[in-house]
Amino acid sequence: MHCCMASSGRRFVIAAGLAMLVGGLLGERGPGAQATHQRADTIAGLTANSQTFVDPTGDNLGGSPDITTVRVSNDDAGNLELQLLIPNRTDLTNPDLVSVYLDTDQSVSTGCNLGGGFGADWGLAALGRTAPEPDRFSLHRIVPVCQPGTTPQGSYAGTFDSTTSTLTLRLHKRDIGDPPSFRFQVLATIDPIGPETFDTGGDLAPWIYEIRVARAVPARDRTPPRVKALTSTGVHGGIAKLRYTVFDESKRAREEITVLRGRRLIATKRTKLGPRKVTSIYSQSWRVPASVSGKLRFCVRAWDAAGNSSAKSCAPLTIR
- Which helix (H) or strand (E) covers residue 79, if one does? strand 79-85
Task: Provide the greatest CA pair distance for the chain.
Answer: 105
How far are the Cα atoms of 65, 81, 96, 100, 199 from residue 189, in angstroms, in the given order? 6, 21, 6, 12, 6
Each residue's pLDDT tens digit, 67-93? 999 999 999 889 999 999 999 999 998
Each residue's pLDDT tens digit, 101-160? 999 998 888 888 877 778 889 989 898 988 888 998 989 888 777 776 667 778 899 999
**In 10 A of CB 64, how many CB atoms?**
25
Q: Is the CB of residue 224 less than 8 Å from the CB of residue 309?
A: yes
What is the structure's pLDDT at 7? 38
Q: Are strands 313-319 and 232-234 parallel, antiparallel or unpaired?
A: parallel
- Asked, as a colleague might, if the bond just before 132 is cis with ω within 30 of 0, I would say yes
DSSP state letter for 39: B
CATH 2.60.40.10-classified regions of the chain? 226-319
What's the average model confidence in pLDDT over 167-176? 95
Q: What is the CATH number of domain 226-319?
A: 2.60.40.10
Q: Is the CB of residue 299 less than 8 Å from the CB of residue 313?
A: yes
CATH architecture observed for domain 3-210? Sandwich (2.60)
